[in-house]
Amino acid sequence: MCVLNDDIREYTELLREGTVPRAYRGILSFMSELLHHMSASHPGHAVSAMYAGFMDMTYFAFTPPELKSRNLKVAVVYLHEENRFEVWIGGGNRKIQAEYIGRLSRADTGPYILSKVSPGVDSIIEKRLVESPDFEDKEALIRRLEEDVIAFIGDMNGILR
């Protein structure tokens, strides 16, 4: 059985070692840089603030007008425990999300993973982008993520037509 005080003592010790705070700050800094780059490179897209998360996921929305008009959003997501980037399409609310999942369950979504309606699921469709990213080469990682997200958006526009 986990005891909260034991977990907090271990957490405090890890913080004192310094690795966890440095890694977390590095991830947040990279995500902020990616957000600003994509926002500047694609001024017509709606961009949200970055959600730092609870060391589970960090993401921001990056949505082109044609998806925003359908009350959909695109999320660029970093999953901390998996050390992986993904891109998701989500609904403006749970009702819209469920509606699109139902509609797309009869469609060919190609290589993309169609979500199931269930508590805690925030996506309609997901795609893994980069596993074990190289944060040391930020420029290359930003280029790769931007290219992959733009390709995903193009594919989503096709699937949703």
Report how many domains make up the chain: 1
The Cα–Cα gap between 100 and 149 comes to 20
Q: Which long-range contacts (CB under 8 A, 24 or more apart) does 31-36 make?
A: 31/58, 31/59, 31/60, 31/78, 33/138, 33/142, 34/76, 34/142, 34/145, 34/146, 35/60, 35/62, 35/76
Q: For residue 82, what pLDDT is reported?
A: 97
pTM here?
0.93
Local structure of residue 107 (DSSP, 8 states): S
- Give the pLDDT of the chain (161 residues) as one tens digit per residue: 678 999 999 999 999 999 999 999 999 999 999 999 999 999 999 999 999 999 999 999 999 999 999 999 999 999 999 999 999 999 999 999 999 999 999 888 989 999 998 888 889 999 999 999 999 999 999 999 999 999 999 999 999 88
Domain of residue 149 covers: 4-160
- Res 161: pLDDT: 82
pLDDT of residue 91: 95
